[in-house]
Amino acid sequence: MSGHQTTNSASISKTLNWRCKNCGEYESMTFDIPDILAKYDFPQPRLCTKCERAEIEAANRRTRRDQLETLADQAAIPQTFRRFDAARGNVGLRQRCIDSAAGSMWIYGARGRGKTLAACQAAMDELEIGTASVRFARIVDIASTLTDRERSPYLMRELLAFRVLILDDFAAARVSDALGQRLYALIDAVYNSKTQRRVWITSDVAADAIAARFDDANCAGRIIGRFKRMVSDGRMAVISADGAEWAGSHGKR
Ligand SMILES: Nc1ncnc2c1ncn2[C@@H]1O[C@H](COP(=O)(O)OP(=O)(O)OP(=O)(O)O)[C@@H](O)[C@H]1O
Ligand SMILES: [Mg+2]
Ligand SMILES: [Zn+2]
Protein backbone atom coordinates (compact mmCIF):
# COMPACT_ATOMS: atom_id res chain seq x y z
CA MET A 1 0.00 0.00 0.00
CA SER A 2 2.82 2.38 0.98
CA GLY A 3 0.69 5.49 1.44
CA HIS A 4 -1.04 5.33 -1.93
CA GLN A 5 -4.62 6.23 -2.41
CA THR A 6 -7.04 3.34 -2.12
CA THR A 7 -10.51 3.18 -3.64
CA ASN A 8 -12.45 5.57 -1.44
CA SER A 9 -10.31 7.08 1.23
CA ALA A 10 -6.88 8.56 1.28
CA SER A 11 -4.35 7.02 3.65
CA ILE A 12 -1.38 8.52 5.32
CA SER A 13 1.72 7.06 6.88
CA LYS A 14 1.97 7.13 10.66
CA THR A 15 5.09 6.36 12.70
CA LEU A 16 5.19 5.36 16.36
CA ASN A 17 8.42 5.66 18.34
CA TRP A 18 8.71 4.13 21.78
CA ARG A 19 11.16 2.80 24.30
CA CYS A 20 10.80 -0.77 25.57
CA LYS A 21 9.87 -0.78 29.27
CA ASN A 22 11.81 -4.00 29.71
CA CYS A 23 15.13 -3.73 27.85
CA GLY A 24 15.21 0.01 27.08
CA GLU A 25 15.66 -0.49 23.34
CA TYR A 26 14.05 2.06 21.04
CA GLU A 27 11.70 0.77 18.43
CA SER A 28 9.61 2.38 15.78
CA MET A 29 6.79 1.18 13.60
CA THR A 30 5.33 2.79 10.51
CA PHE A 31 1.94 1.89 9.19
CA ASP A 32 -0.77 3.26 6.92
CA ILE A 33 -3.99 4.62 8.32
CA PRO A 34 -6.98 6.32 6.68
CA ASP A 35 -6.39 10.06 6.85
CA ILE A 36 -9.53 10.64 8.95
CA LEU A 37 -7.60 8.98 11.80
CA ALA A 38 -4.59 11.25 11.38
CA LYS A 39 -5.28 13.19 14.56
CA TYR A 40 -5.98 10.13 16.65
CA ASP A 41 -3.38 9.36 19.34
CA PHE A 42 -2.30 5.77 19.12
CA PRO A 43 -1.35 4.10 22.41
CA GLN A 44 2.37 3.60 22.84
CA PRO A 45 3.39 -0.07 22.90
CA ARG A 46 4.94 -1.09 26.22
CA LEU A 47 7.58 -3.49 24.93
CA CYS A 48 9.78 -3.98 21.91
CA THR A 49 8.84 -6.79 19.53
CA LYS A 50 11.48 -9.13 20.97
CA CYS A 51 10.45 -8.61 24.61
CA GLU A 52 6.77 -8.89 23.78
CA ARG A 53 7.35 -12.21 22.05
CA ALA A 54 9.41 -13.45 25.00
CA GLU A 55 6.63 -12.42 27.40
CA ILE A 56 4.00 -14.31 25.43
CA GLU A 57 6.22 -17.40 25.25
CA ALA A 58 6.89 -17.30 28.99
CA ALA A 59 3.16 -17.07 29.68
CA ASN A 60 2.54 -20.04 27.37
CA ARG A 61 5.25 -22.03 29.15
CA ARG A 62 3.65 -21.26 32.53
CA THR A 63 0.27 -22.39 31.24
CA ARG A 64 1.72 -25.63 29.89
CA ARG A 65 3.55 -26.29 33.18
CA ASP A 66 0.34 -25.69 35.17
CA GLN A 67 -1.58 -28.02 32.89
CA LEU A 68 1.10 -30.70 33.28
CA GLU A 69 0.97 -30.38 37.08
CA THR A 70 -2.81 -30.79 37.00
CA LEU A 71 -2.47 -33.94 34.88
CA ALA A 72 0.21 -35.27 37.20
CA ASP A 73 -2.12 -34.62 40.17
CA GLN A 74 -4.90 -36.55 38.44
CA ALA A 75 -2.40 -39.34 37.75
CA ALA A 76 -1.44 -39.37 41.46
CA ILE A 77 2.24 -39.18 40.54
CA PRO A 78 4.16 -38.29 43.71
CA GLN A 79 5.87 -34.89 43.59
CA THR A 80 9.37 -36.37 44.05
CA PHE A 81 9.09 -38.31 40.79
CA ARG A 82 7.82 -35.48 38.60
CA ARG A 83 11.13 -33.76 38.06
CA PHE A 84 14.36 -35.27 36.79
CA ASP A 85 17.86 -34.10 37.56
CA ALA A 86 20.32 -35.54 35.04
CA ALA A 87 23.19 -34.72 37.40
CA ARG A 88 21.83 -37.33 39.82
CA GLY A 89 22.15 -40.12 37.28
CA ASN A 90 19.71 -42.80 36.06
CA VAL A 91 19.66 -41.11 32.68
CA GLY A 92 19.86 -44.38 30.73
CA LEU A 93 17.06 -46.11 32.64
CA ARG A 94 14.79 -43.09 32.25
CA GLN A 95 15.42 -42.99 28.50
CA ARG A 96 14.89 -46.74 28.19
CA CYS A 97 11.48 -46.40 29.82
CA ILE A 98 10.50 -43.41 27.70
CA ASP A 99 11.53 -45.36 24.59
CA SER A 100 9.46 -48.38 25.68
CA ALA A 101 6.41 -46.37 26.75
CA ALA A 102 4.29 -47.38 23.77
CA GLY A 103 3.89 -50.81 25.35
CA SER A 104 3.74 -52.33 28.80
CA MET A 105 6.89 -52.53 30.92
CA TRP A 106 8.34 -54.71 33.63
CA ILE A 107 11.01 -52.58 35.31
CA TYR A 108 13.00 -54.44 37.91
CA GLY A 109 16.16 -54.15 39.91
CA ALA A 110 17.61 -53.51 43.33
CA ARG A 111 16.21 -50.89 45.73
CA GLY A 112 16.94 -47.26 45.02
CA ARG A 113 17.92 -47.73 41.37
CA GLY A 114 15.46 -45.13 40.10
CA LYS A 115 12.83 -47.56 38.81
CA THR A 116 9.83 -45.65 40.13
CA LEU A 117 11.41 -42.42 38.98
CA ALA A 118 11.94 -43.80 35.45
CA ALA A 119 8.33 -45.05 35.22
CA CYS A 120 6.98 -41.71 36.44
CA GLN A 121 9.24 -39.83 34.04
CA ALA A 122 7.85 -41.87 31.14
CA ALA A 123 4.41 -40.95 32.45
CA MET A 124 5.27 -37.25 32.62
CA ASP A 125 6.47 -37.53 29.03
CA GLU A 126 3.12 -39.05 27.97
CA LEU A 127 1.18 -36.42 29.86
CA GLU A 128 3.23 -33.64 28.31
CA ILE A 129 2.65 -34.91 24.79
CA GLY A 130 -0.98 -35.49 25.72
CA THR A 131 -1.14 -38.99 24.29
CA ALA A 132 -2.43 -40.90 27.29
CA SER A 133 -4.08 -40.71 30.67
CA VAL A 134 -2.06 -42.19 33.49
CA ARG A 135 -2.74 -43.54 36.98
CA PHE A 136 0.06 -44.26 39.45
CA ALA A 137 -0.65 -46.72 42.26
CA ARG A 138 1.70 -48.22 44.81
CA ILE A 139 0.51 -51.74 45.49
CA VAL A 140 0.79 -51.43 49.28
CA ASP A 141 -1.36 -48.29 49.13
CA ILE A 142 -4.20 -49.85 47.14
CA ALA A 143 -4.05 -53.40 48.56
CA SER A 144 -6.64 -52.95 51.31
CA THR A 145 -9.16 -51.12 49.09
CA LEU A 146 -8.53 -53.57 46.27
CA THR A 147 -9.45 -56.49 48.51
CA ASP A 148 -12.39 -54.79 50.23
CA ARG A 149 -15.63 -56.33 49.02
CA GLU A 150 -17.48 -53.00 48.95
CA ARG A 151 -14.85 -50.68 47.57
CA SER A 152 -12.95 -53.00 45.25
CA PRO A 153 -15.25 -52.69 42.19
CA TYR A 154 -15.02 -48.91 42.26
CA LEU A 155 -11.24 -48.90 42.51
CA MET A 156 -10.93 -51.53 39.77
CA ARG A 157 -13.11 -49.45 37.48
CA GLU A 158 -11.14 -46.33 38.31
CA LEU A 159 -7.76 -47.97 37.70
CA LEU A 160 -8.90 -49.35 34.37
CA ALA A 161 -10.26 -46.02 33.21
CA PHE A 162 -6.70 -44.92 32.48
CA ARG A 163 -4.66 -45.83 29.42
CA VAL A 164 -1.50 -46.32 31.44
CA LEU A 165 -1.59 -47.99 34.83
CA ILE A 166 1.60 -47.82 36.88
CA LEU A 167 1.75 -50.55 39.51
CA ASP A 168 4.61 -49.60 41.78
CA ASP A 169 6.45 -52.15 43.93
CA PHE A 170 4.62 -55.14 42.52
CA ALA A 171 4.60 -58.08 44.95
CA ALA A 172 6.98 -56.27 47.26
CA ALA A 173 4.98 -57.58 50.19
CA ARG A 174 3.28 -60.96 50.57
CA VAL A 175 0.33 -61.28 48.16
CA SER A 176 -2.82 -62.77 49.69
CA ASP A 177 -5.24 -64.88 47.63
CA ALA A 178 -7.69 -61.98 47.45
CA LEU A 179 -5.06 -59.45 46.36
CA GLY A 180 -3.63 -61.89 43.84
CA GLN A 181 -7.06 -62.28 42.23
CA ARG A 182 -7.51 -58.54 41.90
CA LEU A 183 -4.01 -58.11 40.45
CA TYR A 184 -4.69 -60.88 37.95
CA ALA A 185 -7.93 -59.15 36.94
CA LEU A 186 -6.05 -55.89 36.34
CA ILE A 187 -3.28 -57.55 34.32
CA ASP A 188 -5.80 -59.61 32.38
CA ALA A 189 -7.79 -56.48 31.50
CA VAL A 190 -4.63 -54.93 30.09
CA TYR A 191 -3.79 -58.20 28.30
CA ASN A 192 -7.24 -58.37 26.67
CA SER A 193 -7.47 -54.67 25.96
CA LYS A 194 -8.49 -53.72 22.44
CA THR A 195 -7.40 -50.17 23.11
CA GLN A 196 -3.76 -49.41 23.78
CA ARG A 197 -4.03 -50.00 27.51
CA ARG A 198 -0.65 -50.50 29.16
CA VAL A 199 0.68 -51.51 32.54
CA TRP A 200 4.05 -50.31 33.78
CA ILE A 201 5.29 -52.32 36.72
CA THR A 202 8.21 -51.75 39.02
CA SER A 203 9.55 -54.58 41.12
CA ASP A 204 12.70 -55.49 42.96
CA VAL A 205 12.76 -58.88 41.22
CA ALA A 206 12.34 -60.40 37.77
CA ALA A 207 8.76 -61.42 36.90
CA ASP A 208 9.54 -65.13 37.35
CA ALA A 209 10.56 -64.52 40.94
CA ILE A 210 7.25 -63.07 42.15
CA ALA A 211 5.69 -66.53 42.48
CA ALA A 212 7.41 -67.12 45.81
CA ARG A 213 5.57 -64.14 47.28
CA PHE A 214 2.06 -65.26 46.37
CA ASP A 215 -0.01 -67.34 48.79
CA ASP A 216 -1.69 -68.83 45.73
CA ALA A 217 0.98 -70.22 43.41
CA ASN A 218 -1.56 -70.86 40.63
CA CYS A 219 -2.58 -67.23 40.63
CA ALA A 220 1.06 -66.14 40.39
CA GLY A 221 1.51 -68.58 37.53
CA ARG A 222 -1.42 -67.06 35.62
CA ILE A 223 -0.06 -63.54 36.10
CA ILE A 224 3.44 -64.56 35.00
CA GLY A 225 1.88 -66.36 32.02
CA ARG A 226 0.18 -63.13 30.95
CA PHE A 227 3.47 -61.23 31.25
CA LYS A 228 5.32 -63.82 29.20
CA ARG A 229 2.71 -63.70 26.45
CA MET A 230 2.89 -59.92 26.34
CA VAL A 231 6.70 -60.07 26.20
CA SER A 232 6.73 -62.65 23.40
CA ASP A 233 4.06 -60.66 21.52
CA GLY A 234 6.31 -57.62 21.76
CA ARG A 235 3.75 -55.76 23.86
CA MET A 236 5.83 -55.66 27.02
CA ALA A 237 9.43 -54.62 27.50
CA VAL A 238 11.50 -56.17 30.25
CA ILE A 239 13.82 -53.54 31.62
CA SER A 240 16.54 -54.23 34.12
CA ALA A 241 17.57 -51.34 36.30
CA ASP A 242 20.72 -53.26 37.19
CA GLY A 243 21.86 -53.54 33.61
CA ALA A 244 21.65 -57.34 33.74
CA GLU A 245 19.80 -59.45 31.20
CA TRP A 246 16.43 -60.80 32.18
CA ALA A 247 16.64 -64.37 33.34
CA GLY A 248 13.13 -65.27 32.12
CA SER A 249 12.58 -67.69 29.25
CA HIS A 250 11.24 -64.96 26.95
CA GLY A 251 13.83 -62.53 28.12
CA LYS A 252 14.70 -59.79 25.66
CA ARG A 253 16.38 -56.52 26.34
N1 LIG B 1 18.22 -38.27 38.21
C2 LIG B 1 17.45 -38.11 39.30
N3 LIG B 1 16.69 -37.02 39.42
C4 LIG B 1 15.90 -36.86 40.50
N5 LIG B 1 15.82 -37.74 41.52
C6 LIG B 1 16.55 -38.85 41.46
C7 LIG B 1 17.40 -39.09 40.36
N8 LIG B 1 18.02 -40.26 40.56
C9 LIG B 1 17.55 -40.73 41.73
N10 LIG B 1 16.68 -39.90 42.29
C11 LIG B 1 15.96 -40.11 43.56
O12 LIG B 1 16.50 -41.26 44.15
C13 LIG B 1 15.50 -41.96 44.87
C14 LIG B 1 15.43 -43.41 44.42
O15 LIG B 1 14.75 -43.53 43.19
P16 LIG B 1 13.47 -44.49 43.05
O17 LIG B 1 12.59 -44.35 44.24
O18 LIG B 1 12.89 -44.26 41.72
O19 LIG B 1 14.20 -45.91 43.09
P20 LIG B 1 13.52 -47.35 43.00
O21 LIG B 1 14.43 -48.16 42.13
O22 LIG B 1 12.11 -47.23 42.62
O23 LIG B 1 13.66 -47.85 44.51
P24 LIG B 1 12.72 -48.86 45.33
O25 LIG B 1 13.04 -50.24 44.85
O26 LIG B 1 13.12 -48.64 46.74
O27 LIG B 1 11.31 -48.47 45.07
C28 LIG B 1 14.20 -41.22 44.67
O29 LIG B 1 13.94 -40.36 45.76
C30 LIG B 1 14.48 -40.41 43.42
O31 LIG B 1 13.69 -39.26 43.36
MG1 LIG C 1 10.33 -47.61 43.64
ZN1 LIG D 1 12.73 -5.02 24.82
pLDDT for res 249: 33
Pocket probe for ligand 1: among 117, 167, 169, the residue whose CB has the most ligand atoms within 8 Å is 117
**Ligand 1 proximity of 79 Cβ (cutoff 6 Å):** no
CA-CA-CA-CA torsion for 136, 139, 140, 145, nearest 10 degrees?
90
Weakly modelled stretches of the chain, pLDDT under 50: 1-3, 244-253
pLDDT for res 194: 80
**Ligand 1 proximity of 112 Cβ (cutoff 6 Å):** yes
Pocket probe for ligand 1: among 94, 116, 120, the residue whose CB has the most ligand atoms within 8 Å is 116
How far apart are the two ends of the chain, measured CA to CA in Å? Answer: 64
Q: List pLDDT tens digits, range 8-45.
A: 668 899 899 999 999 999 999 998 988 888 888 888 89
Q: How far apart are CA 165 and CA 173, in angstroms?
A: 19
Amino acid at 89: G
**b/e map of 80-95 (b: 16 or more CB within 10 Å)?**
ebbebeeeeebeebbe
From-to residues of CATH 3.40.50.300 in the chain? 79-240
Fold of 79-240: Rossmann fold (3.40.50)
